[in-house]
Amino acid sequence: MAIRPTVGDPAYKKDEMLLLNKILYKLRRSHHHWYNLFTSILKKMELKSSPHNPCIYSDVDNNTDPSSTNKSLHVGVYVDDFVFYSTDPAKEQLFRSELAKDIKVDVMGDVDYFLGTTFTWNFHVVV
């Protein structure tokens, strides 16, 4: 990919172009490339996009039985950011390890704020 240097930069000649070896953050299309990479990884993990919102991925089957022990994982993606949760800590850990095989991700703990939504977590101990 070739780009023009910043206008007026004295380090470059008027008609000089820069050749990039890879996409860098803050370029016009870098968010689109990141989204495509990330969603391809989710699809490789066999997570399915919601028919109602293509930015929500999950591994939910169509089992509506409330007594089912099937624990699902949900991932919400927005441009170059994402959140995920599951009721099964082992499934969350598996997701993190599978993701780490393809990309470096810093998991920042429980989400407090995402896309204008504030999250409050209540943890209950089941006896």
Run of H or E residues at 118? strand 117-118
Look at residue 115 and give its three-state secondary structure: coil
User: Using one digit for the tens of pLDDT, what is the confidence trace for 43-87?
Assistant: 998 899 888 888 889 886 555 555 555 668 888 888 777 888 888
Look at residue 67 and give its three-state secondary structure: coil
pLDDT band at 36 (very low <50, low <70, confident <90, very high): confident
pLDDT band at 22 (very low <50, low <70, confident <90, very high): low
- The size of the chain, in residues, is 127
| Distances 51 to 74, 112, 120 between C-alpha atoms, Å | 14, 27, 27
pLDDT for 26 equals 61
Q: pTM of whole model > 0.85?
A: no
pLDDT for 62 equals 52
The mean of the pLDDT values for the chain is 78
**Which comes out higher in pLDDT, residue 65 or 119?**
119
